[in-house]
């Protein structure tokens, strides 16, 4: 376990997982990097939301210049280390690799990026501008805020992140599938962002420990990167029943809470069909739960989760219950016992009752609540009809010119790499706003 | 089934594949295992006066992950006692009478040569190879390449040997010389039976960047070595071809230099080698590679309807010309198969930065009047494609294309870029023709032009 200043118990369920792809050794990294064709105007770069110069960092691995390789990555993407491991490369860089077009195995860009950052990042010194005297307060310590704050610090500004929880890193720490990246390694990356001069204050909740007005008074600009809220409620489900958990909560506890145990769980049901549902189901199956069912209100073909993730889930034994909606959580002595289901047509319930399924654990993965309450504290900032913060796509600026926002709270829940790209773009725009340049927003 | 057996200057061999004089032929135990594996002949590691070897001895150059593109060594001739070597050679020849067994020799004085030749012939060996090539260590003592680089000395020495020898004698030449035909012709004047080439090239294989010492490192210093392996093949082929078309070189040649598979071997044969000698590939992968050499050559000869190896020997020599004899009206242009293209655009960047700026990205416009049949199609497809999967197939301006081959060479996809013939005129017109007919100038022509 990687040691960091943040407290994590060694008894977490997460520690039972091993890496989906073990790290490359030198020989493997050389062999793979030498396979790269070094395309001109490479399609992989276009596919990366942070536009990492992929052929360049790969050629630097091949020439034994791992430090330079890591610098190429981190210059474009401050969270290059976690993106290397959590990015859905199958649909991003590797999906557009010309080898894929050619019907051959694409370059393992994610694994090479992990090799470069893990072995080279500690030697990288990114250029830091002189102190400007300007200060930015950032709400939430997830990928969007970390990337934004890191870039702001490099531009010479003071960047202070306020995180209501005890652990920084956002969903990278509490939500990423542990076979992709465990929490301790995420926290190590957070410390790298700290090393750029970013201050992270955990246990500080906006509206409780510090007000929005105080934030605006203390800082020259504010960045909102709160992510999405807690798990959405599901009317039919008794959330008070023991054994019923929201997916975000379940993953967080599996990764960080040593009291979380699956000892009495043989049957589990995950409700939903998106990537969070697939992550939760795969994690349960890999942790040894015998029967893991995915209850989804539409058909297999309509699942929103990535195809490659669902293929893996099936291999791990996850069974789909399609076109089904939970009518009732049946409990015994306050503990969940089974799920009563009705057939769904086009995602809507019908009267047709299906067989009850036995279950010891129900994970609800049907989305996260929005953050209206937080948003309403900041003058000029608004949410749209779906509960997303309204912010300019290029600059992240909200209805208040001093307040910027990015990440899941704005885009409704995309990948870490999208949050990083948006956060970095916002940093460039904030810098332009504070320093009086009008060139902000582009090429962040 | 083609007959792979060869007769090299009277030396019979079951196939043209011999092991070169080097570590793989250091001992009888090794040579017998090599013959068992299928090698037709072996040139024993050079015998001579006692030497002492150093450590380390080898260094290699890797290329994009491929090990040992080239190998360098600073090892000297055999460091085993002469009696032991001669006894083992005798034993091997007795056990393998049908295989070609050659003894490589290198000594200094005439008396030593005469003595060593007699003792070598007593083993029953089929021939002698004179090591005039070793370019490190031995040459500092006036032997090896020191002889190969001085045609007069070499001629004299071959005379001594030919006076003393009663079995075929092969002179092995060094490539560390400006014109390899000079020592070859000198050896022929002294009535040598055959030639072999190339020996290794003088080299520094690399530098240890932490210690700042050249490689291979001997303590805190190093010395230059002899370079061999796949990287030297083009140099060897050219020197072989020079000898093959030289009317003064009338003896058979054994080709050496970077041969690793049957294709390499066939190329040497086509450029005039009667046998080939292999070392680096065996040092890399072992004697077993000879199976692939035999199988591949056998299949190739059968496919080309050649009954025996000698049908192939020298077959490409008539096509090896001087530049002045090449047809200036022959012209090719690149064509890109859009269906095979994977969109890496390496042809574009190579042509744009390293050649003649005639391969363009889709969406750009052709110069009016230039022949560029794919330009408009590419522009149309680029316009139709979306941002998620843009059309990336480049197009060729055939008017600007000089037919250099670079795009075809960098393209990772087999047969995606082909060079298509577009003759400038039906008649053949060479530089020599132009000079002969007064349409162009001989060397010094620029001065002629200035004078008007």
Instruction: Give the residue ranges of DSSP H helices in A155-239.
Output: 171-174, 183-195, 212-218
Indicate which CATH number applies to the domain containing A74. 1.10.1060.10
> A62 at the B interface (CB within 8 A)?
yes
Record the pTM: 0.87
Within-domain flag for A162? yes
Strand B17-19 versus strand B11-13 pairing type: unpaired
* A30 and A59, same domain (yes or no): yes
What mean pLDDT value characterizes chain B?
Answer: 96
pLDDT 10s digits, B398-451: 999 999 999 999 999 999 999 999 999 999 999 999 989 988 877 766 666 666
Within-domain flag for A9? no
* A159 and A71, same domain (yes or no): no
Residue A237's pLDDT is: 61
> B340 at the A interface (CB within 8 A)?
no
* A95 and A77, same domain (yes or no): yes
pLDDT in tens, chain A (444 residues): 788 889 888 889 999 998 988 999 999 999 999 999 999 999 999 999 999 999 999 999 999 999 999 999 999 999 999 999 999 999 999 999 999 989 999 999 999 999 999 999 999 999 999 999 999 999 999 999 999 999 999 999 999 999 999 999 999 999 999 999 999 999 999 999 999 999 999 999 999 999 999 999 999 999 999 998 777 765 556 566 788 888 988 999 999 999 999 998 999 999 999 999 999 999 999 999 999 999 999 999 999 999 999 999 999 999 999 999 998 889 888 889 999 999 999 988 999 999 999 999 999 988 777 678 888 899 999 998 888 999 999 999 999 999 999 999 999 999 999 999 999 999 999 999 999 865 444 344
- Final residue belonging to a domain, choices A123, A144, A163: A123
B71 touches B323 (CB < 8 A): no
> A95 at the B interface (CB within 8 A)?
no
Tell which of B63, B338, B342 to mutate to test the A interface (max A CBs under 10 Å): B342
Closest approach of B345 to chain A, Cα-based (Å):
5
Q: Which residues contact A115 (CB under 8 A, 6 or more apart)?
A: A23, A24, A29, A61, A66
Within-domain flag for A239? no
ipTM over 0.90: no
Within-domain flag for A225? yes
> B392 at the A interface (CB within 8 A)?
yes
Q: Which residues contact A218 (CB under 8 A, 6 or more apart)?
A: A135, A137
Closest approach of A38 to chain B, Cα-based (Å):
8
Task: Identify the closest residue of chain B to A98 by CA–CA distance.
Answer: B342
CB pairs under 8 A between A and B: 35
pLDDT 10s digits, A162-186: 999 999 999 999 999 999 999 999 9
- Final residue belonging to a domain, choices A100, A123, A146: A123
Q: Cβ contacts (< 8 Å) between A42 and chain B: which residues? A: 344
By Cβ distance, the residue of A34, A41, A46 closest to B345 is A41
Write down all domains in chain B, each with its CATH number in brackets: 6-319 (3.20.20.70), 324-421 (3.30.70.20)
Q: B181-189 vs B151-164: helix axis angle to the nearest 10?
A: 30
Containing structural domain, residue A184: 135-229+370-435
Residue B449's pLDDT is: 64
Within-domain flag for A14? no
Residue A443's pLDDT is: 42
* A252 and A356, same domain (yes or no): yes
The rounded distance, in Å, linking the Cα atoms of A405 and A382 is 11
CB contact under 8 A, B412 and A31: no
Q: Which two tokens stand for residue B240?
A: 């072989």
Q: Cβ contacts (< 8 Å) between B390 and chain A: which residues? A: 43, 46
* A293 and A354, same domain (yes or no): yes
Average confidence (pLDDT) over B132-146: 92
pLDDT 10s digits, B313-326: 999 999 999 999 99
* A318 and A288, same domain (yes or no): yes
CB contact under 8 A, A39 and B346: yes
* A360 and A378, same domain (yes or no): no
Within-domain flag for A440? no
Q: Which residues contact B315 (CB under 8 A, 6 or more apart)?
A: B269, B270
* A334 and A428, same domain (yes or no): no
List active site positions of B.
134
* A253 and A294, same domain (yes or no): yes
pLDDT 10s digits, B226-282: 999 999 999 999 999 999 999 999 999 999 999 999 999 999 999 999 999 999 999
Positive/negative CA dihedral, A294, A295, A301, A304: negative
> B369 at the A interface (CB within 8 A)?
no
Within-domain flag for A176? yes
* A382 and A338, same domain (yes or no): no
By Cβ distance, the residue of A31, A42, A102 closest to B65 is A31
Closest approach of B386 to chain A, Cα-based (Å):
13
Within-domain flag for A71? yes
3-state secondary structure of B79: coil
Indicate which CATH number applies to the domain containing A338. 3.50.50.60
* A357 and A255, same domain (yes or no): yes
Strand A335-345 versus strand A348-353 pairing type: antiparallel
* A74 and A114, same domain (yes or no): yes
B126 touches B119 (CB < 8 A): no
By Cβ distance, the residue of B346, B361, B389 closest to A37 is B346
Average confidence (pLDDT) over B24-30: 98
Domain count, chain A: 3
Q: How far is CA B397 from CA B332, B360, B370, in A?
A: 12, 8, 7
Residue A439's pLDDT is: 47
Kindly tell me if the per-residue pLDDT of B67 is higher than 80: yes
A297 touches A344 (CB < 8 A): yes
**Number of residues that make up chain A:** 444
Tell which of A30, A35, A40 to mutate to test the B interface (max B CBs under 10 Å): A40
Q: How far is CA B329 from CA B402, B403, B421, B422, B441, in A?
A: 12, 12, 11, 9, 18
Residue A441's pLDDT is: 42
């Amino acid at each position: 376990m990687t040691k960091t200043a943040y407290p994590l118990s060694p008894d977490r369920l997460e520690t039972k997982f091993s890496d989906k792809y073990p790290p490359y050794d030198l020989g493997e990294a050389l062999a793979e990097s030498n396979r790269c064709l070094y395309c001109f105007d490479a399609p992989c770069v276009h596919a990366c939301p942070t536009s990492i110069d992929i052929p360049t960092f790969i050629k630097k691995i091949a020439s034994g210049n791992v430090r330079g390789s890591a610098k190429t990555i981190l210059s474009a993407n401050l969270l290059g280390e976690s993106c290397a491991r959590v990015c859905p490369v199958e649909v991003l860089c590797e999906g557009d690799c010309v080898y894929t077009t050619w019907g051959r195995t694409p370059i393992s860009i994610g694994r090479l990026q992990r090799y470069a950052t893990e072995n080279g990042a500690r030697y990288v010194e990114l250029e830091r501008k002189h102190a400007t005297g300007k200060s930015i307060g950032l709400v939430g310590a997830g990928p969007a805020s970390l990337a934004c704050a890191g870039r702001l610090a490099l531009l010479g500004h003071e960047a202070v992140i306020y995180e209501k929880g005890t652990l920084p890193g956002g969903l990278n720490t509490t939500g990423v599938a542990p076979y992709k990246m465990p929490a301790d390694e995420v926290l190590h990356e957070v410390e790298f962002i700290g090393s750029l001069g970013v201050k992270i204050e955990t246990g500080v909740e906006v509206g409780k420990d510090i007000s929005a007005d105080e934030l605006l008074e203390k800082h020259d600009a504010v960045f909102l990167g709160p992510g999405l809220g807690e798990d959405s409620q599901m009317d039919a489900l008794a959330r008070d029943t023991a054994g019923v958990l929201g997916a975000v909560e379940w993953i967080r506890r599996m990764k960080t809470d040593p009291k979380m145990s699956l000892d009495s769980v043989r049957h589990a049901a995950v409700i939903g069909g998106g990537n969070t549902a697939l992550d939760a189901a795969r994690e349960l199956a890999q942790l040894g739960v015998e029967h893991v069912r995915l209850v989804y209100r539409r058909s297999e073909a309509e699942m929103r989760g990535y195809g490659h993730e669902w293929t893996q889930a099936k291999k791990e034994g996850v069974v789909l219950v399609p076109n089904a909606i939970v009518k009732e959580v049946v409990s015994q002595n306050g503990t969940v016992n089974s799920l009563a289901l009705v057939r769904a047509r086009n995602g809507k319930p019908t009267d047709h009752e299906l067989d009850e399924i036995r279950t010891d654990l129900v994970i609800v993965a049907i989305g996260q609540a929005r953050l209206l309450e937080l948003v309403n504290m900041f003058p000029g900032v608004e949410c749209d009809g779906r509960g997303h913060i309204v912010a300019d796509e290029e600059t992240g600026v909200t209805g208040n010119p001093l307040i910027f926002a990015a990440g899941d709270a704005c885009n409704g829940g995309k990948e870490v790499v999208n949050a990083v790209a948006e956060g970095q773009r916002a940093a460039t725009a904030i810098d332009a706003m504070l320093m009086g340049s009008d060139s902000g927003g582009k090429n962040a | 089934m083609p007959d792979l057996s060869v007769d090299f200057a009277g030396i019979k061999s079951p196939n043209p594949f011999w092991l070169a004089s080097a570590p793989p032929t250091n001992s009888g135990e090794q040579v017998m295992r090599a013959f068992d594996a299928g090698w037709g002949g072996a040139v024993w590691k050079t015998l001579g006066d006692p030497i002492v070897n150093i450590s380390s001895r080898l260094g290699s150059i890797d290329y994009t992950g491929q090990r040992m593109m080239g190998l360098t060594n600073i090892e000297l001739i055999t460091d085993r006692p002469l009696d032991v070597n001669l006894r083992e050679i005798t034993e091997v020849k007795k056990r393998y009478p049908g295989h070609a067994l050659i003894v490589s020799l290198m000594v200094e004085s005439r008396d030593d040569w005469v003595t060593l030749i007699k003792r070598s012939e007593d083993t029953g060996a089929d021939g002698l190879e004179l090591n005039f090539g070793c370019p490190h260590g031995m040459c500092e003592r006036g032997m090896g390449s020191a002889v190969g680089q001085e045609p007069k000395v070499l001629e004299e020495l071959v005379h001594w040997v030919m006076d003393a020898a009663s079995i075929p004698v092969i002179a092995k030449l060094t490539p560390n010389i400006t014109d390899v035909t000079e020592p070859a012709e000198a050896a022929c004047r002294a009535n040598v039976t055959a030639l072999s080439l190339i020996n290794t090239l003088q080299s520094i294989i690399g530098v240890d960047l932490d210690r700042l010492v050249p490689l291979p490192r001997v303590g805190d210093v190093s010395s230059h070595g002899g370079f061999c392996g796949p990287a030297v093949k083009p140099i060897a082929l050219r020197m072989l071809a020079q000898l093959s078309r030289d009317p003064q070189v009338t003896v058979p040649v054994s080709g050496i230099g970077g041969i690793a598979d049957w294709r390499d071997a066939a190329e040497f044969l086509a450029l005039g080698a009667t046998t080939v000698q292999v070392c680096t590939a065996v040092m890399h992968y072992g004697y077993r590679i000879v199976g692939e050499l035999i199988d591949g050559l056998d299949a190739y000869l059968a496919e080309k309807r050649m009954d025996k190896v000698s049908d192939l020997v020298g077959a490409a020599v008539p096509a090896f010309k001087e530049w002045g004899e090449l047809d200036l009206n022959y012209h090719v242009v690149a064509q890109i198969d859009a269906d095979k293209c994977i969109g890496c655009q390496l042809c574009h960047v190579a042509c744009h930065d390293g050649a003649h700026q005639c391969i363009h990205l889709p969406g750009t416009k052709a110069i009016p009047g230039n022949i560029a049949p794919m330009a408009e199609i590419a522009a149309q497809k680029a316009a139709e494609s979306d941002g998620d999967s843009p059309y990336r197939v480049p197009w060729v301006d055939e008017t600007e294309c000089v037919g250099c081959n670079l795009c075809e060479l960098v393209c990772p996809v087999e047969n995606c870029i082909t060079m298509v013939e577009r003759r400038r005129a039906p008649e053949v017109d060479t530089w020599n023709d132009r000079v002969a007919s007064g349409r162009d100038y001989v060397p010094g022509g620029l001065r002629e032009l200035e004078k008007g």
